[in-house]
Structure 1
Amino acid sequence: MQFDDLATSTPVQRTVSARWQDRPILIVDPSNFLRRLVADVLRHAGADRVSTFGDIEAGLNAATGFARPIIIADWSEKGSPGPALTRALRRKNLPVRRAPIIALGSTGQLREVERARDAGVNGFVLRPVSPAMLFSRLDETVRRPRAYVETDSFAGPDRRIRPNQDGRIAWKRGPDVEAGLATPLEAALAQADAMAAAMMRQGDMIAARVGRSLRQYLETVKDIGPRETEIITLHRSALRRLQEFEGAPPAHRNELVNGLEKITARRLAA
């Protein structure tokens, strides 16, 4: 475990402020040079409680000792601490599990931004870090926080931020069903397609099989009942597990999907 510049692990009682500079900021990056570079930029902008850490365990443990922390995590490659740190923090039953997380990535490809968003980050900034862009993301996170969502398949800030062509917010399938714009089955089929498409854009063809498996099942039913809801929940849970273990050997991840497909096939035959 590596860490440096940790000021204190005792939460400090302060008046709630809308300035990110007044909140503790934790930087998690395996590169000593890069984390100190970001820390210097933040301190120059007025942040007086900046702590830096070299690995996931140190950053996660430290986050629990601060009140209202903001976390900035490296997301530059598959072995970066950002993905695992984000999922671990969002899924743990901790008072700080809703802490804002800013990802620092090395590519702005849509699939990488979506991967960070689906893990539960609040913002994404490209390296080399532009101070103006980083400050803008921090300002937006603190001054205009998005609603926090916690379901079986996702935990983090609401991802539904882009309007459709007709002005409705994308991905709000529950309200669409309630408004009579889609049947529960149509909404579930659209969700299965979205699951597969998102994973394909991220280059995760193993995880994309989960969405295809769900669609194949839903194409055989006439409505959504308790049995179908159970299958949908099972597929969501499988997708979450695959995302949490994206660095696991492909054989292990394939085994999980194979098991899911066998369970689904048995339900179809029953």
Structure 2
Amino acid sequence: MKAYDLSGMSVLVVDPNTFMRDILRELLDGLGVGQILGVKSIADATNRLAEYESIDLVLTELDLDTRDGVDLIRAIREHREQRIRMLPVLVITADTRMPRIVASRDAGATEFLAKPVSAEAIYKRLVQLIERPRPFVRVDDEYFGPDRRRQMREFMGGERRGGLPEAQPRA
């Protein structure tokens, strides 16, 4: 795996647990991340996003004290400022129930990691964000965020939509 200099990177960590914020700060610092801001709530996160124009990544827990982390992801994706709307959002949570994962994905989360996390796992996700950034898509008013498709493969089979006949060449 290629080594990256992360000293120019700025990360906002959102977690209500002070101990967890400190752990994530230490892990990110150990990876060489230049600036790490820690906050405990959505209100604090939105204030920091407005104050610091240099934030490159948001790392958030889903289970926040007064509101849901999914609300934070939605607030980021619906923000009026493009620099905030387009930020990668890495969910790091102990709540790995499938409905929670799907809700965060559908709100526009970029990546997902289950706690407990390691420096290696975080680094791999950071490398993935650098080497394979996912394009952003808008689907009507239903979704805005990173393209949720992981693999872009060409379909090699016949027509898949409910019995529609295949197109016949014209004579």
Distance 1:81 1:107, change over 3 A: closer
Larger radius of gyration: 1
- Equivalent positions of 1:108-257 (< 5 A) are 108-151=96-139, 152-162=141-151, 168=155, 182=161
Q: Which runs of 5+ in 1 are unaligned?
A: 1-17, 169-178, 187-270
More helix by share: 1
Structure 1 residue 49 corresponds to structure 2 residue 35: yes
Deviation at 1:67, TM superposition (A): 2.7
Deviation at 1:47, TM superposition (A): 0.9
More strand by share: 2
In the TM superposition, what whole-angstrom CA distance separates every residue of 1:162-206 from its partner, at most 9, and x where no partner exists? 468xx53xxxxxxxxxx96548xx9xxxxxxxxxxxxxxxxxxxx
Contact 1:121/1:157, CA 8 A, preserved across alignment:
yes
- Separation (CA, whole Å) in 2 of partners of 1:111 and 1:97: 24
- Aligned to 1:73, which of 54, 60, 75? 60
Q: Relative contact order: is structure 1 or structure 2 higher (C-alpha 8 Å, sep ≥ 6)?
A: 2
Q: Size of the alignment, in residue pairs?
A: 155
TM-score normalized by the length of structure 2:
0.78
TM-score normalized by the length of structure 1:
0.51
Deviation at 1:22, TM superposition (A): 2.2
Contact 1:20/1:142, CA 8 A, preserved across alignment:
no
Q: Which runs of 5+ in 2 are unaligned?
A: 165-171
Q: Give RMSD over aligned pairs.
A: 2.6
Deviation at 1:20, TM superposition (A): 4.5
- Separation (CA, whole Å) in 2 of partners of 1:155 and 1:117: 11
